[in-house]
Structure 1
Amino acid sequence: MATIEECVKELIDERYGSVPRLAAAIDLPAQTIYSALRNGLKGSSMSTVMPIVEALDIDPGQLVRGNLVMLSGKKIGSVKVPMFGSIAAGLPAEPDVADNMLPIPIELHDKYPDAFLLRVQGESMNNILPNGCFALVDPCVTVDYSNQPYALSIGMGNAMVKRVRVLDNGFELKPDSSDPTFRSTILDFADPTLEPVTIIGRVVWYCLPAQWDFYAQ
């Protein structure tokens, strides 16, 4: 997890473009701000910290408690979560073995503490999940929200992401794509040839990789 000081530096860059620009706006030496970010805001003088938090709309009471919260109540920062390679958004495919960690907003982590990221491949969900994006999956074993996007596996490790409509005795796997050639698939639990269906989790958010190219996906 990023430190409070790292998050404040990101907020400074976002709001003011640089520490020197913030320093000029609040009439503090830039070196004083750099020192506070390096040595810790909680240990810095009030005459240094208060102009910074006021300029950035940070709640000073929460800062004293070690939390970075905006006066609006919004938490600032990120938490790294596991990224389990790829999952198909087209034909079922074996998910890659995961060994990476990627950041998500801390507010999302608070809401979905066990969630993990999967990279989506394919165009069958491109209306809501672009090919190549990272889908945040909240683990679950049942479909509690019919017609929502879920990651699921069929058989031994085959995985995909689709909107899942709950039927009386099965699921309808529905694409959500700009390509009309993608069609729904019915999983009939009464079909003796149907391999075991395992719900991996519900897709609750997605983000794009840093190297995203709108024309090459």
Structure 2
Amino acid sequence: MRNSVEIAQYIKKIRERKGLSAVELANRVGVTKGTISRYESGTRKIPMDDIPKFASVLDVSPVDILIESEDEPVVNSTEYPYYPIGISAGLPLCIDSIDEDDLEYISIPDNLMGKWAGRKDIFMMRVNGDSMNKVITHGSLIAVKPVPLSDLKNGDIVVYSDGGDYAVKRFHQRENKIIFRPDSTDDMFSDYETTKDNSDLKIHGKVVMYLVELD
């Protein structure tokens, strides 16, 4: 049977494997981020009564958490910067600037990241909304790679902002006009158009992959 430190480290490993931040796990279990941090650092023991809650959220059994299996695989992971906000897959939404203190890190298994594993220029966000649901469903975790405007191709999926308004859409360019286009099963979503001369426009990066929970 695992001791309290080993239990906390196992929960952290499963959390990271599933692409959950400490804040997301805390919200789902019903505790604070600080409590999760103290559990994972070993400065506070996880109450045995809470083990079923963690097991339910992480989709494992309480026995998996409490008892170590000899068959558990070794999974190599990499930490990536994670912005704990939902990037709009709808109309661009205003997002307050994020201080360095608010920036989190999330660990993703290298076998899930594929050729992007270990890249230092990748950052992670979550999609909020359905305007890209043919490709990226609501709640998906997206990996974004900074790319200059000149390197983008029509149809690339990008995270962009216009002033303080952020969104994720397909990129299209026609001469001086730039079009951000939805890719949705719902025809209520429409193009968002601007120009290359728009000084407030910023392309934050190209979405190179996404991870989604099916349930």
Question: Do they fold alike, i.e. is TM over 0.5?
Answer: yes
Shift in Å at residue 95 of structure 1?
3.5
In structure 1, distance between residues paired with 2:192 and 2:92: 12
In structure 2, distance between residues paired with 1:95 and 1:78: 29
Paired residues of 1:150 and 1:202 also in contact (CA < 8 A): yes
Paired residues of 2:80 and 2:120 also in contact (CA < 8 A): no
Shift in Å at residue 145 of structure 1?
2.2
Match of residue 89 from structure 2 = 89
Identity rate of aligned residues, in percent?
A: 28
In structure 1, distance between residues paired with 2:206 and 2:122: 9
Gap runs ≥5 in structure 2? 1-8, 18-63
In structure 2, distance between residues paired with 1:182 and 1:104: 31
1:77 aligns with 2:76: yes
Alignment of 1:1-217 (within 5 A): 18-19=69-70, 22=71, 77-85=76-84, 86-95=86-95, 97=98, 98-106=102-110, 107-110=114-117, 112-142=119-149, 143-155=151-163, 157-189=164-196, 196-208=200-212, 212=213, 214=215
Provide closer, same or farther for how the CA distance between residues 90 and 79 of structure 1 changes in structure 2, counting only shifts above 3 A: same
- Specify the SS of the correspondent of 2:93: coil
- Specify the SS of the correspondent of 1:163: strand
In structure 1, distance between residues paired with 2:135 and 2:79: 23
Provide closer, same or farther for how the CA distance between residues 112 and 168 of structure 1 changes in structure 2, counting only shifts above 3 A: farther
Paired residues of 1:136 and 1:204 also in contact (CA < 8 A): yes
Q: Deviations over 1:55-97 (max 9, x none)?
A: x8xxxxxxxxxxx9xxxxxxx5211111112211111123463
Shift in Å at residue 102 of structure 1?
1.3
Q: Deviations over 1:151-176 (max 9, x none)?
A: 01101x32110000121112111101
Shift in Å at residue 185 of structure 1?
2.3
User: When the two structures are aligned, how many residues end up with a matched partner?
Assistant: 144
Matched AA of 2:190: R
In structure 1, distance between residues paired with 2:158 and 2:131: 13
In structure 1, distance between residues paired with 2:80 and 2:105: 5
In structure 2, distance between residues paired with 1:154 and 1:196: 5
Shift in Å at residue 189 of structure 1?
4.1
Paired residues of 1:147 and 1:166 also in contact (CA < 8 A): no
Q: Deviations over 1:27-67 (max 9, x none)?
A: xxxxxxxxxx9xxxxxxxxxxxxxxxxxx8xxxxxxxxxxx
In structure 2, distance between residues paired with 1:207 and 1:83: 14
TM-score, with structure 1 as normaliser = 0.56
Match of residue 29 from structure 1 = none
In structure 1, distance between residues paired with 2:109 and 2:153: 23
- Specify the SS of the correspondent of 1:114: coil
Q: Deviations over 1:114-144 (max 9, x none)?
A: 1101111111011111111111100123152
In structure 1, distance between residues paired with 2:188 and 2:79: 37
In structure 1, distance between residues paired with 2:166 and 2:185: 21
TM-score, with structure 2 as normaliser = 0.57
Provide closer, same or farther for how the CA distance between residues 207 and 213 of structure 1 changes in structure 2, counting only shifts above 3 A: closer
CA RMSD of aligned residues (A): 3.1
In structure 1, distance between residues paired with 2:88 and 2:137: 12
Q: Deviations over 1:174-205 (max 9, x none)?
A: 10111111112222346xxx562111000011
